[in-house]
Amino acid sequence: MVFSEVVDASDEVARTPGRLAKIARLAVLLGALAPDEIEPVVAILAGEPRQGRMGVGHAAISTASSGSASPGGKPLTINEVDAAFDTISRLSGAGSTRSRADTLGALFARASDPERDFLRRLLHGELRQGALEGVVLEAIARAASLPAAKVRRGAMMSGSLVAAARAALTGGATSLEAFGVQLMQPVRPMLADSADDVNQALEDIGEAAFEYKLDGARIQVHKSNDEVRLYSRTLNDVTSSAPEIVSLVRALPVREAIFDGEAIALAPGGAPRPFQVTMRRFGRKRGVAELQPDLPLTPFLFDCLFLDGASLIDEPQERRMGALRDLAAALAVPRVIRPSRAEAEAFVTGAIARGHEGVMAKALDAPYAAGRRGSAWLKIKQARSLDLVVLAAEWGHGRRRGYLSNLHVGARDPSTGAFVMLGKTFKGMTDAMLAWQTGHLQSLEIGRDAYTVFVRPELVVEIAFNDVQDSPIYPGGVALRFARVKRYRSDKTAADADTIDTVRLLAGYPSEG
């Protein structure tokens, strides 16, 4: 299949408001794929190449996409794009930066203008086409003439939407049913939706358990006799990053088990350290415990998915909690089961007083299912916010075409008077906000390129976020996690914006000032 067919389908889906219409359009595309095209196309439609980020930075993408296009000859195919990504992802060592840029430049040179725009957004991680993973999953099910629940279960058991897609589209239900819970094969994690407060959570869930909402690193722990392996939220093996957790789990009185939980760095008094401090323990080589003896990790387990040869995935939450309590009570997250409304409110207050994000509310009768499954798990937490300055905005796509949508936001540097970019966000905006900011930001324009309008740093916006993390992309070395717009602050000037020192302190770093 030629690459332009994927680009055209993505663009059409972005312009289509109805979920069912999106699913139908993607199902047509998926049904026309050759077997070796399924995995790269499904990964792209879900928003990221199957090779991941590939070490390609903003500067390299900008340079490659600004070169002259000379498509000519045969059109690009899906397999050619995927092969170029493979080449880029394998490059390492001396000269790899140049080779990566050459490969990327050659790919962009062969692409048409719509393809170049698509590639740029894909590689930036900003492919907002309305084809979220849930929509792609349902499109796979329709193209394969299967219930979406079967595809969803296959993706959870295999740990991979693209693997489930290939199985569904080439082997049908029989191939999907071959996927099962296996030790040392991580399953895709169950995720939570949000609730405003305890009242909403109890109304949506009914009989529930409440437990601390920890802002740590999600871990899935597999134990087979003395072998213990840890997997991250993205299913990467992170065993070597947490030897102390391996030792604790190895000592549990169980032969085979799979647990779900969080790892978090605690201060001496037991308060949680910032998320970014915990994450310093991951991605490092074995021996980090000796290199950072003052930064031990503590596991808090909250689910049991497998026990001595039997899957507990389909068992109700209360049964799984009971198995965890019987096996590893000392490692279990603090929780209360079937609290009254007053008891639940007190539990939330206590969790926040101890420095945690908030609480999770979990339906006691719910099975374990990958992704966000309705209101089975709900998080109740207090979002933090900063007053930041808008530095630029990118033109939107799909239903936001014609509007300035993706905001570049920055914090004030008191030592220079300049502004330090912390990231981009297009979330949280109403239609009225989009319309207003499109006009107002153009009145502040100081320059533009094909995608972005750069503005005088005058407009203050309140940005809610979950935490602050390290960033090799942005000049301050930090970025906001899950940033979204709350409101514009017409009552504040840029001189009133929060400083980069404040942001760095939230990340657990000392102020540079």
List active site positions: 213
C-alpha span between 493 and 391 (Å, rounded)? 14
In order of 146, 211, 373, the CA distances from 173 in angstroms are 7, 37, 22
Q: Any residues with CB less than 8 A from the CB of 395 and at least 6 apart, and which?
A: 401, 402, 403, 404, 405, 451, 452, 453
DSSP string, 334-354: PEEES--HHHHHHHHHHHHHT
Token code pair at residue 292: 């950072």
What is d(CA 231, CA 257) in angstroms, rounded to the nearest whole number? Answer: 14
Cβ neighbourhood burial of 452 (10 Å; 0-12, 13-18, 19+): middle
Please compute, for residue 159, the number of CA atoms within 13 A of its CA located in the half-sphere on the CB side: 15
CA distances from 216 to 282, 371, 453, 466 (A): 11, 18, 36, 12
Q: How many CA atoms lie within 13 A of 454 on its CB side?
A: 6
- Residue 288's contacts (CB-CB under 8 Å, 6 or more residues apart) are 240, 241, 281
The owner of tokens 């502004």 is 419
Task: Enumerate residues 6+ apart whose C-beta is below 8 A from 99.
Answer: 91
Cα separation, 167 vs 271, whole angstroms = 45
Q: Which residues pair with 463 in a beta bridge?
A: 386, 485
Residue 92: CB atoms within 10 Å: 10
Among 242, 239, 218, 241, smallest CA distance to 230 is for 239
Beta bridge partners of 409: 390, 423
Q: Which of 277, 261, 278 is nearest to 333 (CA)?
A: 261
Tokens of 447: 């320059």
Furthest C-alpha separation in the chain: 70
Contact 377, 366 (CB under 8 A): yes
